[in-house]
Amino acid sequence: MKATVSTEWLSGCSGCHVALVDLHEKLFGLLDDMEIVRSPVLVDQKTYPKANVGIVEGAVRSEHDLEALHKIRGSVDVLVAYGTCAVYGGPSGVGWLYRKDDVFDAVYERGPTNAGGERPDSGVPSLEESVRPIDEYVPVDLYLPGCPPHPFFVAAGLHNLLDSSKPGLTHRSVCADCNRKMQKRAGVQLVPAAVVGDDPDLCFLSQGIICLGSVSLNRCLAPCPKIGVACTGCAGPSLDVLTDPNRDTRTELAERMEKLCGIPRKDTVSYLEMNANTFFAYAMASPTIYKKPTVEIREWAGPSQAATS
């Protein structure tokens, strides 16, 4: 008997659903074992039929998201949080920094393109107080972060799930798939606001450029550092950062840069704090990050900072 799969799409960009279609020919192989009974981009199905596996993309931002999430949880046996938004809040998680009223003020009252100043109050679902990852509301069985997850990992995850064995995904970081050489070098300075280095074969950290590869989970096969752009950490924090309460993205990175090229720890830490909106962009709405005793993300990137910069 074929396994049935149902997917749903909350506050996200649909990129994760596109990644599902990016399986190309592999999708046909998978369809021998599974049947997609509901999917906003593939199947014309508005209700929530019973299914074995539920795949949810996107964070919870509106009343509609919340209702859809509860409905799909009720209709499936195994729920997969699919993509960084569902797992950590993702890019839309930046809304977690602001109160609902501040968001409305900025968009509908002070927004330069919306001079009328009217808030929409009918025909659209109302917003929740904040943006949250889906496991804040319902139990989640499996997590597959990534922005979007590379089809390689989607296929590996689905294959393992359908064979009812454990998902064979590793906990390696992005560095594991990057082919740049990490080397100790003396006399390197921190290069602020750079994402491209001089040497195409040398690790960004060895060149003094902030790259989040070593603190991010590998769900992408490292395409950015391979073509010459520093990693922005789109698959969320690595296992080290997640499991140790006293370490976070900035302390881990500062320690490595200090040991590799002698850049003072304090410099890296304060640079990352000043640009927290960039370097914590994908996981700031997740309690695994903002509840760490070392992370004060609202202070670093919150409304008061936005007003001054």
Partner 1 sequence: MVTIKVDDKACVGCTLCVDECPTDVFEFDEAKRLPVVTRPEMCFGCLSCSKICPADAIDHQGILISRNFYHDDYAVRLASRLGLSTPPELGVSAEAAEREKALEDLGIRLLSMASVLRQTLGAALPAVGRMAGTTLAAQLPRYQLPETFDQAIQVVRDGLNPAWIIGDTARQNGSLKVSVKGCFVRDLCRREHLDLGGDLCTLFGTYLLGYLGKVTKSRLKLVHTDRTWESCRYDLEVHT
Of 23-31, 117-125, 190-198, 246-254, the window that binds partner 1 (rule: CB under 8 A) is: 246-254
| Binding track, positions 268-297, relative to partner 1; x by CB under 8 A | -------------------------xx---
Reported in sequence order, the residue ranges of the chain that DSSP labels E, i.e. its strands, are 3-9, 34-38, 51-57, 60-62, 76-82, 127-132, 142-144
Q: Which of 178, 234, 261, 285 binds partner 1 (CB under 8 A)?
A: 178
- Rounded to whole angstroms, the Cα distance separating 29 from 8 reads 22
Site size with partner 1, rule: CB under 8 A: 30
- Rounded to whole angstroms, the Cα distance separating 212 from 175 reads 9
212 binds partner 1 (CB under 8 A): no
206: alpha, beta or left? (left if phi > 0; alpha if psi -120 to 50): alpha
Of 63-71, 131-139, 234-242, 280-288, the window that binds partner 1 (rule: CB under 8 A) is: 234-242
* Site residues (CB under 8 A) for partner 1, limited to 1-30: none
250: Cβ contacts below 8 Å, ≥ 6 apart: 268, 269, 272, 273, 279
Q: Which of 11, 207, 214, 288 binds partner 1 (CB under 8 A)?
A: 214
Of 13-21, 61-69, 71-79, 168-176, the window that binds partner 1 (rule: CB under 8 A) is: 168-176
220: Cβ contacts below 8 Å, ≥ 6 apart: 146, 147, 149, 150, 174, 177, 234, 235
247 binds partner 1 (CB under 8 A): yes
* Binding region for partner 1 (CB under 8 A): 171-173, 175-178, 180-184, 203, 205, 213-214, 238-240, 244-247, 251, 255-256, 259-260, 293-294
